[in-house]
């Protein structure tokens, strides 16, 4: 009788252990069914179906974790933090954990890179680093890298680092850009602002900073109607430094950056027209696409597209252009520049060029 009871207890214990083991295995299988992706842009649209023709339900912000439930036609069906579900373009998110410890070596790839107190362009600058300077990355979070530089510790925009693994092999990855304007992140820069008025009209009544801002707001509205995520370097009469403008574009991982300006010549009324500028040869296609529509849509002479060594382009790691859209000290140009009709034509041309670029 005692032997039988012992055998019974043994069998119960064995069954209990087996249930525990199977439960653990089932948990791993369940967890393995799903992967987590991290939002890699300032904001992305969550849609009701797998395509840009579906309604936008809400937006997810940079750094948000989304659980992937299924995939269809390069779109993920995801669960958000509030347990709602929707669809997101796969090329706008990254795989894995956004808060990962790295502790690897890296090299600064841009001269003048700012080491900041925290992972934000608004935080205090602790030091300015040189191109090629070595750092140790201790943490990556929401597009920023926490690094050690000698005895200092701070944060750097992760896109400004070339990271190598502990074995010394390069681990830098490239992210597929947007293939549709509807899912692109586009940074628009209204040139000048605040204490920097830019160029002015011959009568001193019109300032470049105001013309660029009103133009950009029209462009923004048109792009957002097409589903694009639009980031402005400024939305009011404020001053933003040239280095911070490029940093905003890099942080946003912009699919396209466009800086809007109106030119000025040494002598009044001696120059007229529009010009498109790029810095990297890789951006020639973007320049050609946008300039083609500026030439076709605007009443002013088009001077074509060409290389220029502007800081907002030189320090920009994203596809970038600078547009000069007429001369502020040319009375004939200003007669167009100051009108909403002309600014709307600029917006129409820029949007058409971006549509071609993202095809």
Q: What is the DSSP letter of 254?
A: -
**Residue 83, φ and ψ in degrees, nearest 5:** 75, 5
Residue-wise pLDDT tens digits, 301-353 = 999 999 999 999 999 999 999 999 999 999 999 999 999 999 999 999 999 99
Q: For the whole model, what pTM was predicted? A: 0.57
CATH of 35-95, one of 3.40.50.10490, 3.40.50.720, 2.30.30.40, 2.20.25.190: 2.30.30.40
Checking if the pLDDT of 156 tops 90, the result is no
Checking if the pLDDT of 59 tops 90, the result is no
Provide CATH 3.40.630.40 ranges for the chain.
181-357
Checking if the pLDDT of 292 tops 90, the result is yes
If residue 94 lies in a helix (H) or strand (E), which one and from where to where? strand 93-95
Bigger pLDDT: 297 vs 96: 297
Bigger pLDDT: 104 vs 263: 263
Q: Among 136-145, 223-232, 267-276, which is the least confidently predicted range?
A: 136-145
Q: Among 176-185, 286-295, 343-352, which is the least confidently predicted range?
A: 176-185
CATH 3.60.21.10 fits 99-163, yes or no: no
Checking if the pLDDT of 297 tops 60, the result is yes
pLDDT score at 21: 66
Checking if the pLDDT of 28 tops 50, the result is no
User: CATH topology for 181-357?
Assistant: Aminopeptidase (3.40.630)
pLDDT score at 286: 96
pLDDT score at 90: 77
Checking if the pLDDT of 171 tops 60, the result is no
DSSP 197-241: --SB-TTS--BHHHHHHHHHHHHHHHHHHTT-EEEES-SSS----
- Length reported for the chain: 359
101 within 8 A of 138, measured Cβ to Cβ: yes
pLDDT score at 347: 98
Provide CATH 2.30.30.40 ranges for the chain.
35-95, 99-163
Cβ-based neighbours of 272, under 8 Å, separated by 6 or more: 300, 301, 326, 327, 330, 332, 333
300 within 8 A of 271, measured Cβ to Cβ: no
Please report where in the chains the tokens 């809400």 appear, as a residue.
58
Structure tokens at 150: 């000698």
Distance of alpha carbon 92 from alpha carbon 37, whole angstroms: 10
């Amino acid at each position: 009788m005692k032997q039988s009871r012992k055998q019974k207890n043994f069998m119960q214990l064995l069954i209990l252990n087996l249930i525990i083991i199977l439960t653990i295995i089932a948990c791993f299988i369940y967890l393995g069914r799903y992967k987590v992706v991290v939002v890699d842009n300032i904001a992305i649209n969550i849609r009701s179906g797998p395509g840009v023709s579906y309604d936008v339900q809400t937006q997810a912000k940079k750094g948000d974790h989304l659980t992937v439930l299924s995939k269809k036609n390069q779109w993920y069906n995801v669960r958000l933090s509030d347990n709602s579900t929707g669809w997101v373009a796969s090329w706008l998110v990254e795989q894995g954990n956004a808060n990962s410890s790295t502790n690897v070596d890296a090299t600064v790839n841009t001269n003048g890179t700012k080491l900041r107190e925290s992972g934000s362009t608004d935080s205090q600058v602790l030091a300015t680093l040189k191109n090629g300077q070595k750092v140790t990355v201790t943490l990556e979070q929401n597009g920023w890298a926490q690094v050690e530089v000698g005895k200092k510790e701070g944060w750097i925009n992760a896109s400004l680092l070339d990271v190598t693994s502990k074995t010394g092999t390069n681990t830098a990855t490239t992210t597929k850009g947007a293939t549709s304007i509807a899912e692109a992140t586009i940074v628009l820069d209204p040139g000048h602002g605040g204490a920097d008025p830019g160029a002015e009209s011959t009568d001193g009544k019109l300032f470049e900073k105001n013309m660029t801002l009103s133009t950009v707001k029209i462009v923004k509205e048109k792009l957002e109607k097409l589903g694009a995520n639009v980031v402005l370097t400024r939305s009011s009469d404020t001053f933003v430094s040239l280095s911070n403008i490029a940093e905003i574009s890099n942080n946003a991982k912009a699919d396209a950056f466009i800086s809007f300006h109106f030119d000025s010549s040494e002598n009044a009324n001696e120059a007229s027209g529009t010009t498109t500028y790029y810095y990297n040869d890789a951006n020639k296609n973007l320049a050609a696409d946008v300039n083609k529509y500026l030439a076709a849509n605007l009443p002013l002479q088009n001077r074509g597209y060409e290389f220029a060594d502007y800081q907002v382009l030189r320090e920009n790691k994203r596809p970038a252009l600078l547009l000069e859209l007429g001369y502020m000290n040319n009375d004939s140009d200003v007669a167009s520049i100051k009108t909403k009709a002309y600014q709307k034509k600029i917006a129409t041309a820029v949007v058409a060029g971006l549509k071609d670029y993202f095809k």
